[in-house]
Amino acid sequence: MLRRARNVLLILTDQQRKDTISAYGNPGIRTPNLDRLAARGVRFERAYCQNPFCCPSRASILTGLYPRTHGVWNNSIPFSRVGAPTLGDLLHEHGYRTGSVGKIHLNPWGPPPPVGFEESRQYWAAHPEMRDWHGPYCGFRDVEMSNGHVHYSTTAGHYGAYLAEKFPAGVELFKRKKAIVNHAYFETWRNAMPEEHHYNTWIADDNQRKSFWAWATDSGMSHDDVHTALGVDSLKTYTGTKRDAAAACGNWIKQCPFEPGSVGELQAYASDDPARPLDAA
């Protein structure tokens, strides 16, 4: 009797510290969905981030190579230089339907390079037909892309196209000048985007619309209002936004057509470049 292949969901957050999850001893935050995932699954307590920047860390996650080997050592180096298959490529070869929704960030967001232009905001601005493009890309055969986080995400990618069509006012609501709560630190404010149009909700809805693809990496989809935590007040805001992101993760998990922890299914949660090591559960 042939054994059914596992469905796999990888939830990847952006710059999330280990101590923003109550399962790791933070008494000031409630993250029941992540706590349940940690309790029912395996906690990798010696799993360490390989680089403090997005692109190098994500390249390591998808290729299994150290940054010194794959050569992407900062966010300005195109992933095309790696020349190695990704986990998506390998799973596709074994019959999986691979996909990604959210922030991938394997290539620069700035001026489009000869390859990897799919994540360039300038390229999207000059080529509106990109909204009809859905891969393949870096091993993913089905792609719904958010090109950046917070206010960077509103003018490019499939999420930007969604806002332009469904909620044009949202383009301004992620910005600091529209903040509900504004702190004095770099990229530290609570944005005014309604939950129903936030990219976390868009990502979950996208998974539901298309049904569950066998392997999905949701890159950066929990990066809410704060990019860098500096000082006590900022840390409080950072912790609060990661709490909100954790709540969204519960919705994503619930909308998958399999029961968490069931036989033959695998759910993993990790962060790309936390300030402290964040263990995958």
Backbone angles phi, psi at 42, to 5 degrees: -110, 130
The tokens describing 186, both together, are 């770099």
63-76 residues labelled b (16+ CB within 10 A) or e (exposed): bebebeebbbeebe
CA-wise closest residue to 266 among 220, 204, 212:
212
Residues 6 or more apart whose CB falls under 8 angstroms from that of 281 comprise 23, 34, 37, 38, 41, 42, 43, 44, 268, 269
Helix, strand, coil % over all residues of the chain, rounded to 5: 40, 15, 45
Using CA of residue 207, residue 51, residue 238, residue 76, what is the dihedral sign?
Answer: negative
Catalytic residues: 54, 105
Residues 6 or more apart whose CB falls under 8 angstroms from that of 56 comprise 50, 67, 70, 72, 73, 74, 75, 77
State the Cα–Cα distance between residues 265 and 95, nearest whole angstrom.
Answer: 16
Question: Is residue 210 within 8 Å of residue 98, measured between CB atoms?
Answer: no
Backbone angles phi, psi at 124, to 5 degrees: -65, -40
The tokens describing 97, both together, are 């339907």
